[in-house]
A = this chain, B = another copy of it.
Amino acid sequence: MARAAGVSQPAVSRAFNPKASITKEKRDRVLAAARELGYVPNVFASSLSKRSSKMVAVISGNLNNPFYSESLQVFVENFQRTSRQVLAFSVQDQQSSDEVMMEALRYPVDGIVMTSAKVTSEMVKLSEGLGIPVVMFNRSVPGTGLATVQCDNRAGGAALARRMAAAGARSFLVLRGDPQGSTSQERVAGFRDTLAALGRLDLEEIEGGSNYSGGYAAIMSRFNRPAPDWPDAIFAVNDIMAIGCADALRGNFGLRIPEDILLAGFDGIREGQRHPYRLTTVRQPIERMVSETLDILDQPDGGESSLRLIPGDLIPGTTVKARGEFL
């Protein structure tokens, strides 16, 4: 390619580097020849000497959960805008993310974003050794000093508890997700503690898969008992489970929401705000969380051990209302 354009090989490199010192004339000549020959600079070779690949690994949970696909979409948009690319990994629901992360580390990515994970400290060590910054997105791993960007799950859970209590609910059902997940734990903790402080102790907790079917199935089995034993209010730890709940409650038990039973979710996914649902929920400000993540990755030190706790937005919705509000 270099000799095809009649220039030296470094000249080609400079022609494609906007801030290199080269005469406009020569640059144009190179660029023209490149177009002619269908030449495109090879990012890999470049990364080998520059030690920056312009690639960021994003390891997410199953993309059939809208929260993950929405997040990924925002990540891709934002990285693309800064001419970086997303190397996408997905970790199956119950799978350990260590193997996946190991796979990601084989690529000299400029950073790793984990939106779903049970990371072991060995992996953290490994990534540190390789000098690859890791940011936990919507996940926290207490032991490690990993940089974390997270919605204030505890406060969000608390807000929903207050709202449900204010609406007059007396018996509560909490539908937890992955018991290992920090997200689920924190939301439930905030919810539980707040109810306790309010003196509402009739609280039952059950678990379900952290997806639509999990929410649906949990309702099917719990509402198998006779009606007097049904709760007033349900808090599902995320919207997609709440949607599963809503469909099961309406479709199989003829319950109206919120007239017969209150329901709240968490995440604020688009789907949850559509006509049939209008969930009362807490929205995770994904855009903001993503830009905080980029910010951390752009820091020279990889933003080590910085914790960014971002408040969620309470969306009133229509699935939690006081009797007075709808009677």
Interface residues of A (CB under 8 A from B): 37-38, 40-45, 47-48, 53, 55, 58, 62-64, 66, 69-70, 72-73, 76-77, 80, 83, 85-90, 100, 102-103, 105-108, 125-126, 129-130, 212, 243, 247-248, 250-251, 270-271, 274-276
> Given A41-B106, A44-B108, A105-B40, does the pair A76, B55 have CB atoms closer than 8 Å?
no
Point out the residues of chain B lying under 8 angstroms from A44, CB to CB: 44, 47-48, 53, 107-108
Point out the residues of chain B lying under 8 angstroms from A105, CB to CB: 40
Point out the residues of chain B lying under 8 angstroms from A107, CB to CB: 43-44, 55, 85
Instruction: Tell which of B88, B89, B106, B274 touches A212, judged by Cβ atoms closer than 8 Å.
Output: B274
Instruction: Let me know if B87 and A40 touch, CB within 8 A.
Output: no
Point out the residues of chain B lying under 8 angstroms from A243, CB to CB: 274
Instruction: Tell which of B66, B85, B89, B247 touches A89, judged by Cβ atoms closer than 8 Å.
Output: B85
- Chain B's closest residue to A47 (CB) is B44
- Chain B's closest residue to A72 (CB) is B63
How far apart sit A143 and B40, CA to CA, in the bound complex (Å)?
24
Q: How far does the Cβ of A218 sit from chain B's closest Cβ, in whole Å?
A: 15
How far apart sit A155 and B153, CA to CA, in the bound complex (Å)?
48
Point out the residues of chain B lying under 8 angstroms from A274, CB to CB: 212, 243, 247
- Chain B's closest residue to A91 (CB) is B80
Instruction: Let me know if B64 and A76 touch, CB within 8 A.
Output: no
Q: How far does the Cβ of A71 sit from chain B's closest Cβ, in whole Å?
A: 9
Given A85-B107, A250-B276, 16 new contacts (CB under 8 A): A37-B129, A38-B126, A38-B130, A40-B130, A43-B107, A44-B44, A44-B48, A44-B53, A55-B107, A63-B72, A64-B66, A66-B69, A76-B88, A87-B88, A212-B270, A276-B276
Instruction: Let me know if B80 and A73 touch, CB within 8 A.
Output: no
How far apart sit A100 and B83, CA to CA, in the bound complex (Å)?
10
How far apart sit A86 and B58, CA to CA, in the bound complex (Å)?
10
- Chain B's closest residue to A84 (CB) is B103
Instruction: Let me know if A70 and B77 touch, CB within 8 A.
Output: no
Q: How far does the Cβ of A302 sit from chain B's closest Cβ, in whole Å?
A: 16
Instruction: Tell which of B76, B103, B126 touches A90, judged by Cβ atoms closer than 8 Å.
Output: B76
